[in-house]
């Protein structure tokens, strides 16, 4: 994968404390356009917090996250929300699909929130469901489909707006190997096709193997495995 | 690498990524949204989109989502129907009043000369089995006389037009038909009826004679038309106080209920909104979406409420509260109030949603409630009832007689007092629950759960609290003002139970009537006398503006009749006369001057200011003894000249009227009806009156019944919402329940914990409700200036109803609990 | 597993007799298969020939096991590069990796780096296998998956060891 000269997301010296528990202690990370970065580390190491900071969902206590040169913590909630709609996509372990909406509507949601017409949004959502091999469950609700199907719907939703960065936090965490592999294959292929970068938090080496490079977070500190040897 | 990580990574340990699970990853206390530059406001299209999206959530979501929305809608609908009903009451009363005035037959007192459009009328009211029947006898004097409202033409003599309700009653009651024997030629139209249960008839007559100028002769008023005379039934400030309080007490729980209904499924909604935040909804969007959701339920409820109201209205015709009934078309909510309801209910729904969102931070990773763990403060909660008290305190003792009261002030004060009770409830629940610990497993589960979120349970029972507190206060007020509505007439029903009085009769006629009465079935004893009046002997010669005609009653009756009125004893025989002086406290010092044996009095005493006709002088026989008065069976004290028919030429009396006291056979319930039938034959100016020791104004009973019906309905509503909330809680915790069962918790323990979980807040709520209700009751009693008295019966009754609702809710939630606790509950989704 | 590098590493902490070396090796690494004296002798002879060790002195009494060996500078460099060099990721590496980690601890080198280097190497191979898998037929996929699962097991072991380094260091240097 060719790395763009200009980094997309740059996090420097992030610190974050929850209560008395330090979650991030000087972590940093750079994401370049189109690359898949795996963030690994033991539970509680702060890898999810790092992802949340990168996505602007959580504001670090100190340090900064710059997305295309703009500091995320300086943006308003509205701007960050808009960023989540247009530039970012999310795939979580579970809980991110709206149970009341059909799979198709779930996928169309980011575009509709962005002001696109319903028909248009749903037409595009349908092509994405097809691409992720879940076109047959378009009219079912998340509660009625299997875990693997649900995650593929989530991937479709994350990618439907052709974001620049997809944040995936344990996307296969609740899936068996076969379904996990399938989700990862579809996620990375689709991200590659649209040129989206992927920040992939996982503790599964086989999932991390879908990445281009690896960051390990331990005790709130990050370690770029490329620079190890 | 410095040290090992705090916990070893294990491939099977679940990653912590459910928004509701992550202990602290989502809420970000350092962020201050207020400090940011304002975002561009959304345009109409965006608003519409978000609202519609919210509606989509309310309408979608499968069976469960629909169920929740339907429950919200039904809850709101019941509230709306109740509000519409309340809004229709003034108009209904108005419409009834208008029609009542339109057919009013009370004379204006003016003299009308006979003409082509005049007619004579006289009332022929009667009572049958406790139902009041109004009858009007009509006799047109020209062809152009206008028939009363609801009639196409004046009835001919011997014919009558009846209300539908009376027609039905007559058909089923031969005894009454005997009394009102006229041929039925039609029914009164709606314009002539107050309500569908109205018992009314117009009968044609040819026996009416117009009163002459002195009203000495004649038996009927002359009129040119009906109506135009309004005498509104002034019920007084105490009644208004009761009415205002009843409305507040009934409508406030409805408001609380609507607020609760709108919040159904709030936790689920918050999680859904968090999911939307993740895909890029900003805070404003989530608010708009939540508003849309609430609006959908509320609008649906509004429509449904209108339907409920329209359907319920159709049944209104069949419902009679005491003698009040209403036509469906009368139940027409006031336009302004209807608009107010249509606007304020959805707005209130949105407002409640916004308030419940105010303390909730919905972040992309989950939902966080601010102020969790912060102790509630009690001072501002106490401030609310204190403010209410401050509003009501100036009116202590002021609500009496004809004083005009500020109904808004009372309503506001009452509302504040009652709201104060609900505001104190969360604090009370939190404070008490925080101290609970130990106990068996079920108790522990329940108290810990309550400690975690006492707010939800407090909210659940706040409706019950308001309803019970209000109802207790009202019942106390009712019993305190009892005397206001129940009059002590002073009558002695042991001596006589019925009185028949006839105007414009004679001694002979009266004796004849008496014979007929005593021959009537069910009459045990009867006595009667003739009443007239006299004045000073020189009345005809008086001139000038300061002339007065002293009132000197003349009572003519046989010894039996007279003994009922004065302490006459054995000294009475035909030809006897007696004098009875007016009671000293009467302030009448004029009349005693003329009530002396040997004095002359003028029997031509007229009703008017001007003396008319020739004097008819009569001398009180010398030696007439003065005797003490005796309270008559109706409770009044007669005085004046008492004479036996042999002592006075009764044909010289001025407009004599007879009064016949009748003792009935207590074993014959219909005895009074036979008497009425007999009396109906005495002529148009005969009235039959029941003698009873007390008399109750119907208003009181209506209010009490209304309160009880309303309180019951409110409790049922609240019970329904309690049940819904309970079921939702159970569903949300199904996994936990299954786990508890899986590791061996007894089902009975879980059932008990559910019961405790409802019971603890409800018991606290009821305690508070009793305290608040007694407090409000005391305030209301103080306002009407009465002595404080406890009505423990109503406290117990209302508490029992509240407790019953809780028990019913718990029982109804047990089957689903059992189902959820099956081990396969572990398998979710 | 390279016995030569292991013995060299053991010598880094100070000169030892051949007999001591065998005992130290057995104690730490030869749990189930004690090293034969012959193997120690031949290995040391080879190291001596390559100039990685030198004879520090000979105990009276004769016999190869009475020689005292010391590590040369070249020997230190050799250990250094051996430790830094990740092993070719293949199954059943743990004996070698364990030896390397212990030696790194014993010689005061950063064991965590060693593990991370190995980890990066493992993941590199896993990436390659994953790529090959996505392009291959089912047979390829199954073969790749087999290797991937084994590599994953190793990688998890690396992770776990990294998490327990402090504990291990305390035990080894006791």
| pLDDT for res B320 | 61
pLDDT for B626 beyond 80? yes
Query: Which residue among B4, B5, B11 sits closest to C167, beta carbon to beta carbon?
Result: B4
pLDDT for B705 beyond 80? no
Pick from B204, B203, B126, B128: which is nearest to B172 by CA?
Answer: B128
Structure tokens at A21: 């528990």
Tell which wins on pLDDT, B654 or B162: B162
Tell which wins on pLDDT, B244 or C39: C39
Residues of B in contact with A111 (CB under 8 A): none
Q: What is the 3-state secondary structure (H, E, C) of B719-767?
A: HHHHHHHHHHHHHHCHHHHHHHHHCCCCHHHHHHHHHHHHHHHHHHHHH
Tell me if chain B has a CB within 8 Å of the CB of A174.
yes
Tell me if chain A has a CB within 8 Å of the CB of C117.
yes
Q: What is the pLDDT of residues B743-764, one digit of tens each?
A: 777 777 878 887 888 788 888 8
Tell me if chain A has a CB within 8 Å of the CB of C112.
no
pLDDT for C133 beyond 70? yes
Please report which confidence band the pLDDT of residue B701 belongs to, taking 50, 70 and 90 as the band edges.
Answer: low
pLDDT for B708 beyond 90? no
pLDDT for B13 beyond 50? no
CB contact under 8 A, C165 and B5: no
CB contact under 8 A, C116 and B8: no
Residue B553 in contact with residue B640, Cβ under 8 Å? yes
Q: How far is C116 from chain A (nearest CA, A)?
A: 7
Q: Where are the beta strands (DSSP E) in chain C?
A: 16-17, 53-58, 67-71
What is the CATH topology of the domain spanning C3-84?
Arc Repressor Mutant, subunit A (1.10.10)
Chain A residue with minimum CA distance to C85: A229
Structure tokens at B685: 């100016």
| pLDDT for res B12 | 38
Bridge partners (DSSP) listed for residue A40 = A216
Tell which wins on pLDDT, B54 or A2: B54
| pLDDT for res B5 | 39
Please report which confidence band the pLDDT of residue A196 belongs to, taking 50, 70 and 90 as the band edges.
Answer: very high
Pick from B717, B276, B812: which is nearest to B467 by CA?
Answer: B717
What CA–CA distance (Å, rounded) separates B767 from B421? 11
What CA–CA distance (Å, rounded) separates B570 from B757? 80
Tell which wins on pLDDT, B682 or A180: A180
Tell which wins on pLDDT, B229 or B419: B419
| pLDDT for res B824 | 57
Considering the entire predicted model, what is its pTM? 0.65
| pLDDT for res B4 | 38
Please report which confidence band the pLDDT of residue A208 belongs to, taking 50, 70 and 90 as the band edges.
Answer: very high
Tell me if chain B has a CB within 8 Å of the CB of A17.
no
Please report which confidence band the pLDDT of residue B567 belongs to, taking 50, 70 and 90 as the band edges.
Answer: confident
Residue C107 in contact with residue C13, Cβ under 8 Å? yes
Structure tokens at B103: 């057919």
pLDDT for B276 beyond 80? yes
Residues of A in contact with B278 (CB under 8 A): 57, 84, 90, 92, 96
Residues of C in contact with A226 (CB under 8 A): 120
Average pLDDT across chain A, whole number: 87
User: What stretches of B436-569 show up as alpha helix (H) in DSSP?
Assistant: 441-452, 454-480, 482-485, 507-518, 559-563
Listed ranges A49-58, B47-56, B687-696; the one with the highest mean pLDDT: A49-58
CB contact under 8 A, C120 and A225: yes
Contacts of B among chains (3+ CB pairs under 8 A): A, C
CB contact under 8 A, B280 and A86: yes
| pLDDT for res A3 | 45
Please report which confidence band the pLDDT of residue A124 belongs to, taking 50, 70 and 90 as the band edges.
Answer: very high
Pick from A192, A177, A226, A184: which is nearest to A209 by CA?
Answer: A184
Within 8 A by CB and 6+ apart from B287, the residues are B354, B357
Helix (H, G, I), strand (E, B) or coil at B149: coil
| pLDDT for res B483 | 56
pLDDT for B823 beyond 80? no
pLDDT for B19 beyond 50? no
Q: Please report where in the chains the tokens 């002539």 appear, as a residue.
A: B192
Residues 453 through 492 of chain B touching chain A, CB cutoff 8 Å:
none
Q: Mean pLDDT across the stretch B657-678?
A: 84
Q: What is the pLDDT of residues B334-385, one digit of tens each?
A: 788 888 888 888 888 888 888 777 777 777 777 666 555 556 777 888 888 8
Q: Mean pLDDT across the stretch B402-416?
A: 76
CB contact under 8 A, C152 and A225: no
What CA–CA distance (Å, rounded) separates B698 from B705? 11
Tell which wins on pLDDT, B699 or B480: B480
Chain B residue with minimum CA distance to C165: B4
Q: What is the pLDDT of residues C69-93, one digit of tens each?
A: 889 999 889 888 888 888 877 766 6
| pLDDT for res B694 | 59
pLDDT for B37 beyond 60? no
Structure tokens at B696: 């109750």
Please report which confidence band the pLDDT of residue B28 belongs to, taking 50, 70 and 90 as the band edges.
Answer: very low
Residue A118 in contact with residue A124, Cβ under 8 Å? no
What CA–CA distance (Å, rounded) separates C164 from B6? 10
Q: What is the pLDDT of residues A36-91, one digit of tens each?
A: 999 998 888 888 889 989 988 888 899 999 998 889 888 888 888 888 888 998 88
What CA–CA distance (Å, rounded) separates B86 from A174? 56
Tell me if chain A has a CB within 8 Å of the CB of B829.
yes
Q: How far is B28 from chain A (nearest CA, A)?
A: 6
Average pLDDT across chain B, whole number: 76
Q: What is the 3-state secondary structure (H, E, C) of B328-340?
A: HHHCCCCHHHHHH
CB contact under 8 A, B9 and C160: yes
CB contact under 8 A, B30 and A43: no
Spell out the domain ranges in chain B.
Answer: 1-40, 45-93+235-487+698-826, 105-223, 498-692
Tell me if chain B has a CB within 8 Å of the CB of C160.
yes
Listed range (B241-245, B323-327, B501-505, B583-587) with the worst mean pLDDT: B323-327
Tell me if chain C has a CB within 8 Å of the CB of B13.
no
Bridge partners (DSSP) listed for residue B664 = B523
Tell which wins on pLDDT, B355 or C114: C114
pLDDT for B808 beyond 80? yes
What CA–CA distance (Å, rounded) separates A213 from A224? 8
Please report which confidence band the pLDDT of residue B62 belongs to, taking 50, 70 and 90 as the band edges.
Answer: low
Instruction: Count interface pairs A-C at CB distance under 8 A.
Output: 50
Q: Please report where in the chains the tokens 């609801």 appear, as a residue.
A: B150
Residues of B in contact with A83 (CB under 8 A): 280
Residues 50 through 79 of chain C touching chain A, CB cutoff 8 Å:
none
Residues of C in contact with B12 (CB under 8 A): none
CB contact under 8 A, A48 and B15: yes
CB contact under 8 A, A61 and B277: no
Q: How far is B12 from chain C (nearest CA, A)?
A: 12
User: Which of B4, B7, B10 to probe by mutation at the C interface, max C CB count within 10 Å?
Assistant: B4
pLDDT for B585 beyond 50? yes
Listed ranges A159-173, B125-139, B807-821; the one with the highest mean pLDDT: A159-173
């Amino acid at each position: 994968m060719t790395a763009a000269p200009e980094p997309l997301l740059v996090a420097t010296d992030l610190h974050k404390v929850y209560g008395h528990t330090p979650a991030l202690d000087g972590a940093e990370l750079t994401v370049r356009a189109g690359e898949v970065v795996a963030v690994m580390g033991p539970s509680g190491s702060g890898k999810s917090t790092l992802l949340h900071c990168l996505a602007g969902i959580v504001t670090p206590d100190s340090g900064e996250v710059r997305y295309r040169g703009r500091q995320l913590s300086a943006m308003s909630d509205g701007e960050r929300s808009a960023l989540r709609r247009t530039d970012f996509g999310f795939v979580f372990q579970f809980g991110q699909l709206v149970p009341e909406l059909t799979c198709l509507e779930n996928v169309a949601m980011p575009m509709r929130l962005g002001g696109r017409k319903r028909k248009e949004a749903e037409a595009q959502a349908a092509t994405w469901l097809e691409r992720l091999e879940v076109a047959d469950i378009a009219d079912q609700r998340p509660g009625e489909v299997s875990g693997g199907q649900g995650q593929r719907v989530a991937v479709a939703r994350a990618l439907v707006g052709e974001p620049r960065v997809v944040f995936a936090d344990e996307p296969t965490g609740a899936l068996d190997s076969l379904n996990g592999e399938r989700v990862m294959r579809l996620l990375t292929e689709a991200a590659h096709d649209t040129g989206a970068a992927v920040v992939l938090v996982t503790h599964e080496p086989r999932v991390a193997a879908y990445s281009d490079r690896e960051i390990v977070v331990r005790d709130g500190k990050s370690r770029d495995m490329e620079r190890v040897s | 690498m410095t040290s090992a990580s705090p916990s070893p990574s294990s491939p099977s340990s679940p990653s912590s990524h459910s928004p509701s699970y992550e202990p602290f990853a989502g809420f970000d206390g350092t962020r201050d949204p207020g400090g940011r530059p304002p975002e561009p406001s959304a345009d109409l299209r965006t608003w519409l989109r978000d609202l519609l999206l919210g509606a989509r959530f309310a309408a979608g979501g499968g069976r469960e989502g629909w169920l929740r929305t339907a429950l919200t809608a039904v809850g709101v609908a019941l509230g709306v129907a109740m509000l519409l009903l309340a809004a229709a009451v003034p108009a209904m009363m108005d419409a009834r009043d208008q029609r009542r005035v339109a057919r009013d037959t009370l004379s204006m007192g003016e003299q009308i000369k006979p003409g082509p459009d005049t007619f004579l009328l006289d009332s022929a009211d009667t009572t049958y089995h406790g139902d009041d029947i109004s009858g009007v006898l009509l006799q047109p004097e020209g062809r152009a006389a206008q028939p009363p409202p609801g009639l196409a033409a004046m009835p001919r003599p011997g014919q009558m037009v009846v209300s539908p309700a009376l027609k039905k009653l007559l058909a089923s009651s031969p005894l009454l038909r005997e009394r009102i024997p006229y041929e039925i030629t039609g029914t009164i139209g709606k314009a002539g009826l107050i309500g569908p249960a109205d018992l009314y008839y117009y009968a044609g007559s040819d026996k009416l004679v117009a009163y002459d100028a002195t009203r000495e002769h004649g038996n009927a008023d002359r009129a040119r038309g009906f109506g135009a005379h309004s005498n509104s039934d002034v019920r007084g400030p105490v009644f208004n106080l009761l009415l205002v309080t009843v409305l507040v007490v009934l409508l406030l729980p409805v408001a609380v209920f609507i607020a609760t209904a709108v919040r159904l499924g709030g936790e689920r909604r918050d999680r859904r909104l968090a999911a939307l935040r993740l895909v890029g909804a900003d805070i404003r969007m989530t608010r708009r979406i939540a508003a849309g959701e609430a609006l959908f339920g509320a609008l649906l409820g509004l429509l449904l409420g209108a339907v409920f109201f329209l359907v319920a209205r159709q049944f209104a015709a069949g419902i009679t509260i005491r003698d009040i009934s209403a036509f469906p078309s009368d139940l027409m909510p006031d336009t302004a109030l209807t608009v107010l309801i249509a606007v304020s209910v959805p707005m209130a729904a949105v407002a409640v949603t916004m308030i419940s969102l105010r303390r909730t931070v919905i972040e992309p990773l989950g939902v966080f409630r601010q102020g969790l763990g912060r102790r509630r403060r009690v001072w501002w909660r106490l401030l609310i009832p204190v403010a209410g008290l401050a509003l009501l305190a100036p009116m202590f003792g002021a609500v009496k007689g004809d004083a005009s009261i500020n109904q808004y002030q009372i309503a506001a004060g009452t509302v504040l007092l009652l709201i104060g009770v609900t505001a104190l409830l969360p604090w009370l629940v939190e404070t008490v629950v925080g101290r609970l610990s130990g106990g068996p497993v079920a108790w522990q589960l329940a108290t810990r759960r309550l400690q975690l979120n006492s707010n939800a349970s407090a909210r659940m029972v706040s409706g019950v609290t308001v309803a019970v507190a209000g109802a207790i206060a009202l019942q106390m007020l009712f019993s305190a003002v009892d005397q206001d509505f129940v009059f002590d007439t002073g009558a002695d029903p042991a001596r006589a139970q019925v009185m028949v009085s006839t105007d414009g009769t004679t001694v002979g006629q009266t004796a004849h009537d008496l014979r007929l009465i005593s021959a009537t079935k069910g009459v045990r004893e009867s006595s009667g006398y003739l009443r007239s009046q006299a004045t000073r002997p020189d009345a005809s010669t008086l001139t000038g503006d300061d002339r007065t005609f002293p009132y000197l009653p003349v009572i003519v009756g046989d010894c039996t009749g007279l003994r009922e009125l004065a302490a006459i004893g054995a000294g009475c025989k035909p030809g006897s006369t007696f004098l009875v002086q007016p009671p000293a406290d009467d302030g009448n010092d004029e009349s005693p001057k003329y009530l002396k044996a040997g004095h002359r009095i003028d029997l031509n005493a007229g009703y008017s200011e001007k003396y008319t006709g020739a004097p008819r002088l009569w001398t009180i026989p010398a030696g007439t003894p003065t005797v003490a008065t005796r309270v008559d069976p109706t409770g009044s004290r007669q005085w004046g000249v008492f004479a036996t028919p042999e002592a006075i030429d009764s044909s010289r009396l001025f407009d004599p009227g007879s009064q016949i006291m009748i003792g009935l056979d207590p074993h014959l319930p219909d005895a009074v009806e036979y008497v009425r039938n007999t009396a109906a034959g005495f002529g148009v100016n005969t009235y039959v009156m029941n003698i009873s020791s007390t008399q109750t104004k119907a208003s009181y009973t209506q209010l009490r019944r209304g309160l009880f019906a309303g309180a019951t309905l409110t409790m049922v509503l609240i019970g329904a919402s309690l049940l819904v909330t309970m079921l939702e809680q159970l569903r949300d915790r199904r996994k936990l329940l299954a786990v508890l069962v899986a590791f061996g918790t007894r089902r009975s323990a879980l059932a008990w914990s559910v019961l405790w979980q409802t019971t603890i807040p409800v018991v606290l709520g009821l305690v508070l409700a009793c305290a608040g209700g007694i407090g409000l009751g005391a305030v209301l009693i103080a306002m009407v200036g009465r002595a404080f008295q406890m009505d423990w019966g109503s406290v117990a009754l209302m508490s029992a109803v509240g407790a019953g609702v809780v028990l019913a809710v718990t029982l109804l939630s047990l089957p689903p609990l059992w189902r959820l606790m099956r081990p396969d509950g572990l398998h979710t989704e | 597993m390279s016995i030569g590098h292991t013995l060299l590493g053991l010598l880094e902490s100070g000169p030892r007799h051949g007999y001591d070396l065998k005992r130290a090796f057995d104690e730490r690494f030869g749990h189930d298969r004690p090293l034969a004296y012959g193997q120690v002798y031949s290995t040391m002879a080879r190291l001596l020939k390559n100039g990685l060790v030198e004879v520090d002195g000979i105990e009276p009494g004769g016999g190869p096991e009475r020689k005292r060996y010391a590590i040369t500078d070249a020997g230190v460099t050799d250990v250094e590069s051996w430790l830094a060099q990740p092993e070719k990721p293949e199954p059943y590496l743990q004996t070698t990796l364990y030896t390397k980690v212990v030696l790194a601890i014993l010689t005061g080198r950063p064991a965590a780096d060693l593990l991370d280097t190995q980890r990066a190497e493992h993941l590199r191979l896993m990436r390659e296998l994953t790529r090959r898998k996505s392009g291959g037929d089912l047979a390829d996929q199954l073969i790749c998956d087999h290797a991937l699962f084994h590599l994953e097991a190793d990688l998890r072991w690396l992770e776990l060891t990294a998490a327990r380094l402090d504990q291990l260091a305390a035990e080894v240097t006791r």
